[in-house]
Amino acid sequence: DAGVTQSPTHLIKTRGQHVTLRCSPISGHKSVSWYQQVLGQGPQFIFQYYEKEERGRGNFPDRFSARQFPNYSSELNVNALLLGDSALYLCASSSRGQSGNTIYFGEGSWLTVV
Amino acid sequence: AQKITQTQPGMFVQEKEAVTLDCTYDTSDPSYGLFWYKQPSSGEMIFLIYQGSYDQQNATEGRYSLNFQKARKSANLVISASQLGDSAMYFCAMRESLTGGFKTIFGAGTRLFVKA
């Protein structure tokens, strides 16, 4: 079975542009969460979606938004990119939206803002 | 404020020996989950082991075991019989419930170097 898949794997954007990152969860998983990992730090929670509804949001500005589709795939959108948005963006899926369930991560999307 | 603390930025261990990676946490939520993930240089986060706050026994998964001391709020990872392939970043994480969902907080990580 395929794991969590993310696209694109690498991309370069300029300041002020917009970016869309995509994530397909493990088959049967209904929960998707997004994390930002800046070089040298641990991942920071951005969003969690379950059954197409936002269930959790971290301390990120409104430039960050996301959505989950009927097939449970998800998009993360970032507007008005800043140099500080350069990071590895990780998507994770789990079978349910509860805290006890293991989440499985994709390989991430490496975003560089220049 | 909820947080995860990993005080060891880097650790060295000789191949085939055991190593303990430290993790302490702070939360007021009575229901939480503790996780350890391995992150190789490729970037992917690999799940290693899980411990629920109400679990009575320490979790074990193959060569990985979690030394859970609830009163001290610590959840150290023990890797037995280290292998060269264990060289990577290791993150301790805590899952807390939100209304209808959850959030996960990660520590800063510990880089493990396994020496031949």
Contact B50/A at CB under 8 A: yes
For residue B103, give the nearest of A45, A50, A108 by CB distance: A45
The greatest distance separating any two alpha carbons of chain A, rounded to the nearest whole angstrom, comes to: 39
Give the Cα separation of B29 and B26 in Å (integer): 9
Report the 10 Å Cβ neighbour count for A57: 16
Residue B22 burial by CB count (10 A; 0-12/13-18/19+): exposed, middle or buried?
middle
Residues of chain A contacting residue B37, judged by C-beta atoms under 8 Å apart: 105
pLDDT averaged over every residue in chain B: 92
> Which residues are within 8 A (CB) of B7 and not within 5 positions of it... i.e. 6 or more apart?
B22, B24
pLDDT digits over A12-52, tens only?
999 999 999 999 999 989 999 999 999 889 999 999 998 88
pLDDT of residue A90: 95
Contact B25/A at CB under 8 A: no
Tell me what the mean pLDDT of segment B98-106 comes to: 79
> Which residues are within 8 A (CB) of A35 and not within 5 positions of it... i.e. 6 or more apart?
A43, A44, A45, A46, A89, A90, A91, A92, B104, B106
CA atoms within 13 A on the CB side of B96: 18
pLDDT digits over A90-112, tens only?
999 988 755 556 788 999 999 99
> Searching chain A, which residue's CA lies closest to the CA of residue B30?
A99
Residues of chain A contacting residue B106, judged by C-beta atoms under 8 Å apart: 35, 42-44
pLDDT of residue B59: 93
Give the Cα separation of B63 and B76 in Å (integer): 14
Interchain CB distance below 8 Å, B44 and A107: yes
Tell me what the mean pLDDT of segment A56-72 comes to: 95
pLDDT digits over B19-62, tens only?
999 999 998 888 888 999 999 988 889 999 999 999 889 999 99
pLDDT above 70: residue B75:
yes
Amino acid at position A100, single letter:
G
